[in-house]
Amino acid sequence: MEEKQLSGILNGAVPGEPVKKDENSRRGNWGNQIEFVLTSVGYAVGLGNVWRFPYLCYRNGGGAFMLPYFIMLVFCGIPLFFLELSFGQFASQGCLGVWKISPMFKGVGYGMMVVSTYIGIYYNVVICIAFYYFFMSMTNLLPWTYCNNPWNTPDCSGVLGSSPRFNASLANATTSLVAAASEVVNHTKRTSPSEEYWKHYVLNISDDIGNFGEVRLPILGCLAVSWFVVFLCLIKGVKSSGKVVYFTATFPYLVLTILFIRGITLDGAINGIKFYLTPQWQKVLDAKVWGDAASQIFYSLGCAWGGLITMASYNKFHNNCFRDSIIISVTNCATSVYAGFVIFSILGFMAHNLNVPVSEVADHGPGLAFVAYPEALTLLPISPLWSLLFFFMLILLGLGTQFCLLETLVTAVVDEIGTDWIIRNKTVVTLSVAVVGFLLGVPLTTQAGIYWLLLMDNYAASFSLVIISCIMCICVMYVYGYRNYFKDVEMMLGFPPPLFFKVCWRFISPLIISFILIFTVIQYKPIKYNNYVYPGWSLAIGFSMALSSVVCIPIYALYKISRSPGATFRERLKFACMADPKWGPALQEHRTGRYAPMASEDTVEARPLKEKEELKDEEKDEEKERKDEISLTIQGSNGSTNTHNNPNPSA
Binding annotation for Na(+) = 42, 44-45, 49, 300, 332, 397
- Distance of CA 43 to CAs 113, 332, 433, 605, Å? 16, 9, 19, 47
Q: Answer whether 333's CB lies under 8 Å from 47's CB.
A: no
- 402 Cβ contact list (under 8 Å, min separation 6): 120, 123, 124, 127, 226, 230
User: Which residues pair with residue 642 across a beta bridge?
Assistant: 634
Q: What is the 3-state secondary structure (H, E, C) of 274-327?
A: HHHHCCCHHHHHCHHHHHHHHHHHHHHCCCCCCHHHHHHCCCCCCCCHHHHHHH
The number of beta carbons lying within 10 Å of the beta carbon of residue 428 is: 11
Residue 533 is inside which H or E element, if any? strand 532-533
d(CA 20, CA 11): 9
**What three-state secondary structure class fits 215?**
strand
Give CA–CA dist 631/8, Å, rounded.
Answer: 10
Which amino acid does the sequence have at 561? Answer: I
CA dist., res. 502 & res. 21, Å (int): 34
C-beta neighbour count of 478 within 10 angstroms: 11
Residue among 455, 341, 465 nearest 57 (CA): 341
Annotated binding residues: 42, 44-45, 49, 300, 332, 397
E strands, 325-366, are none
Three-class SS string for 45-74? CCHHHHHCHHHHHHHCCHHHHHHHHHHHHH
Query: Can you list the alpha helix ranges (DSSP code H) found in 475-535?
Result: 482-493, 499-503, 509-522
Residue 600: how many CA atoms within 13 Å on its side-chain side? 6
Q: Of 382, 383, 340, which Cα lies nearest the Cα of 364?
A: 340
